[in-house]
A and B are shown apart, each in its own frame.
Chain A
Amino acid sequence: MKSEKKTIAGISRRNLLASAAAVAALPVLPSMPYITRAAAQDTGPIKIGFPVPLTGPFATEAQDQVRAAQLAVKEFNDAGGANGRQCELLVRDDKLNPGEAATRTLELIEKDNAHFICGTLSAAVQLSVNNVTKARGVIYVSISQSDKISEASDASPVTFHEAVNPHLMSSAVARYAVGKFGKKAVCLVSDYAYGHENLRGFQRAGQPLGLEILADLRHPLGQTDYSTFLPRIAALKPEILFLANFGADLVNSVKQATDFGLKDRMKIVCPTLLYTSRIAGGDEAFEGIAGAAPFYWGIEDKIPSAKTFNDKFKAAYGGRYPSDYGAMGYSGIRQILDAVKIAKTTETKAVAAAIRALKYDYYKGPQYYRACDQQSVQSVFVLESKTKNKRNQYDVFDVVVTEAPDEKRLRTCEELGHKT
């Protein structure tokens, strides 16, 4: 009897804590590959490594990036590839973790012999991928937002930033909202590069318009409960709530802000009003919320390339509409493959030169790379959530402002530290 009790109840705390800690640590153990170095060949399939956060709060958006990237690959292969060389997309889960992303990228380059890297979905994670690609001289096309990646400290002749950036998006929102809805704002931002860069951009563009920031509150990435922030925001009585977070965080904070009755008292604006979050959050939660976007399928009425892209995407995925981040994934992959066709090789220097020279319009109107920082110059759209008179269930936004591509809206090359 004694022994029975011992085995069931007599567990030592030390044992338990030790095993619990060991188990909890499992997922973060680095799985460093046993690297065998073999340079990527200029024959055989064209391999593009695609690390994206398929687990974690941005999984929904990442999945759409994969869908759209696969569409670009399929198009290329169906058209015969480049000189008969087909493309292979190597999708990896970076778990929204900079360390994991660096490891996966290293593996893709060294073990899988990827010719190019495209991907990631975080202002922070892409910097760690960029460190790896930069050091190894591999072309990296980033398809998520970051201001830092264009700065001289992080830029590289083989790094291209296809995505819009926080500076561009938050300033578009400031230009739209400050004055129109009031001048007093509270900012609730995700506490990492994305939130910080957006806050800076909003502040900077808002200042000449008379913006007064009453408080800037930061929440950890992946926060699920916002109730402790919301009463305080209400008490500050702002006219605008600038909400800079992403993915599941955006959905949850907007839902809870609605429950707390915040929307009756202030206008909520987001630097990136995600299509995927809007769909996942539903009409009620997003009613009255405005924000910027790099793409929304509804621009197809005015922009022919958007219509072509939407139709191709819908045909490939059973009528589903492409999302903003998906579209950037498509564009990222397609420009690499177009450049390979032009260069007639997968050799880095030649392909990089071809990307640099591209004047392309794949899904949203004309785009090109600025010479100093290799940031894609492109249009930005300001959207208002739409809950009535919808054409179909995917018709969730009205496009209220279209900002045409303009280098003047980016930070100058000098400011980024590039010599001109």
Chain B
Amino acid sequence: MDLLLTQLATGLALGSIYVIVGLGLSLIFGMLHVVNFAHGAFFMVGGYVGVFVFAKTGNFWFSLVAVPLVVGVIGMAVERVLIRPLYGRNIDDPLLLTFGLSYIFVEVIRITFGLEGIPFGTPRELRGAVDIGVGFIPLYRIFLVALTAAILIALWLFLEKTSYGLIVRAGARDPEIVRVLGIDISRVWLFVFGLGTGIAGLAGFLSAPIQSVNPDMGVPVLAEAFVVTVVGGMGSLVGSVVAGLLVGVVVSITSLFAPDMARVSIFILMAVVLLVRPQGLFGRKGAMG
């Protein structure tokens, strides 16, 4: 029983990583209807930017702020130059573009930094494991849960309680009306794309102490982020939170009883959700046609 509870707690901690990984993808799709196949690449770039900034400053907390900013700016440049001309065209176009882009990012990183993984330890302040009553969980993972919660609250406050958030939401619903009201919608989209990619980059940096930083680190992330987004409902933020946690718990409990099924389990979960509720747990019917 204790083991089951530990496994549940581990699953929730793992789930918060999935939440933050899925968040950026969901945000960009929900607001821009762009399926960002370069999501995993932005995640990986975030890992490298973080390692680089940390090596220069030696300050984990500073890096934590710098990474989403730097990756967000890269994301905005991509939106402005490459994605913007494709708005209004078939959804395949930005999808293929970002897919190609992900290869370019990975190659650039390989050529610049090589194939070797770069070591990155857990920051000194966050080392060690904490006894949560039923077993040990690393302090760093608890920190991730708290940070994810903080990011979600900040995002929610921004989208629901600020006037710019109102514009963003309106732009997602009906860009034409927003434009008629005299608001430069393309600037909103630029910002949202930067925000989504910035969060992806932050997730990459946060995962650096857990796994090694290498050019291929974004590959599994893309698939995971898609599962979270599809299970939660394409474009639903609440959905990606619930789905992320659910995926974490499913993986965790499956690996207790059938470890070799752990990876497949999330795809089974996705298949079941698609069969029973094709729009995803929290997806709006019609958002996907």
Residues of A participating in the B interface, judged by any CB pair closer than 8 Å? 1, 4-5, 7-13, 15-16, 19-20, 23, 26, 54-57, 59-60, 62-63, 191, 217-220, 222-225, 227-232, 234-235, 248, 251-252, 255-256, 259-261, 276, 279-282, 284-285
- Whether A280 touches B212, Cβ cut-off 8 Å, given contacts A7-B89, A8-B33, A23-B99, is yes
B162 on interface, CB distance cutoff 8 Å: no
Structural contact, A284 and B216, CB atoms closer than 8 A: no
Q: Is B125 part of the binding interface, using a Cβ–Cβ cutoff of 8 Å?
A: no
Q: Please tell me if the beta carbons of A60 and B115 are within 8 angstroms of each other in the complex.
A: yes
Contacts of B136 in A (CB 8 A): 231, 234, 260-261
Q: Which of chain B's residues 241-289 have a Cβ closer than 8 Å to chain A?
A: 251-252, 255-256, 259-260, 262-263, 278, 287-289
B155 within 8 A of A: no
B141 and A227 contact, CB distance less than 8 A = yes
- Of chain B, the residue at the smallest CB distance from A59 is B115
Chain A's closest residue to B251 (CB) is A228
Q: Is chain A's interface secondary structure helix, strand, loop, or mixed overall?
A: helix
Chain B 79-114 interface 0/1 with A at a Cβ cutoff of 8 Å (1 = within): 000000001110110011001000000000000001
Given A8-B175, A231-B10, is A224 in contact with B211 using a C-beta cutoff of 8 Å?
Answer: yes
The answer to whether A281 touches B212, judged by C-beta atoms less than 8 angstroms apart, is: yes
Q: Which residues on the A side are within 8 Å of B263 (C-beta)?
A: 220, 223
Contact: A234 with B10, CB < 8 Å? Answer: no
* Binary flags per residue of B126-142, CB closer than 8 Å to A gives 1, else 0: 01110000011110110
**Roughly how many angstroms separate A13 CA and B96 CA in the complex, as a whole number?**
17
Interface contact A59-B214, CB-CB below 8 Å? yes
Q: Check if A248 sits within 8 Å of B6, measured CB to CB.
A: no
Count how many pairs of residues, one from A and one from B, have CB atoms less than 8 Å apart in the complex: 164
B225 vs chain A, min Cβ distance (A):
12
* Contact stretch, chosen from B11-19, B49-57, B65-73: B11-19
Whether B121 and A231, one on each chain, are in contact in the complex, defined by CB atoms closer than 8 angstroms, is no
Question: If the complex has contacts A219-B259, A227-B10, are A13 and B212 also in contact, measured as CB distance less than 8 A?
Answer: no
* B residues near A13, Cβ cutoff 8 Å: 278, 288-289
The reply to whether the CB of B209 lies closer than 8 angstroms to some CB of chain A is: yes
**A364: min CB distance to chain B, Å:** 23
Question: A247 to chain B: closest CB distance in Å?
Answer: 9
Closest Cβ of chain A: how far from B128's Cβ, in Å?
7
B183 within 8 A of A: no
Q: Is the C-beta of B122 less than 8 angstroms from some C-beta in chain A?
A: yes
Listed A/B pairs (19) with beta-carbon separation below 8 Å: A8-B87, A11-B289, A12-B288, A16-B288, A19-B95, A23-B95, A220-B262, A224-B207, A224-B220, A225-B14, A228-B14, A228-B256, A231-B3, A232-B3, A232-B7, A255-B212, A260-B136, A276-B116, A282-B121
On chain B, the residues within 8 Å of A23 by CB distance are 37, 95-96, 99
Q: Are A259 and B138 in contact (CB under 8 A)?
A: yes
Q: Which of A5, A219, A248 contacts B212 (CB 8 A)?
A: A248
> Which of A23, A26, A282 has most B Cβ within 10 Å?
A23
- Residues of chain A within 8 A of B140, CB atoms compared: 259
- For residue A276, give the distance in angstroms from its CB to the closest CB of chain B: 7
Within the assembled complex, what's the spacing in Å between the Cα atoms of A279 and B262? 29
6 nearest A-B residue pairs (beta carbon)? A282-B119, A259-B138, A280-B117, A261-B129, A228-B255, A12-B289
Q: Which of B184-239 contact A (CB under 8 A)?
A: 207, 209-212, 214-217, 220, 226
User: Which residues of chain A are within 8 angstroms of B160 by Cβ–Cβ distance?
Assistant: none
Residues of B within 8 A of A7 (CB): 88-89
Knowing A9-B287, A12-B289, A259-B129, the reply to whether A63 touches B116 (Cβ < 8 A) is yes
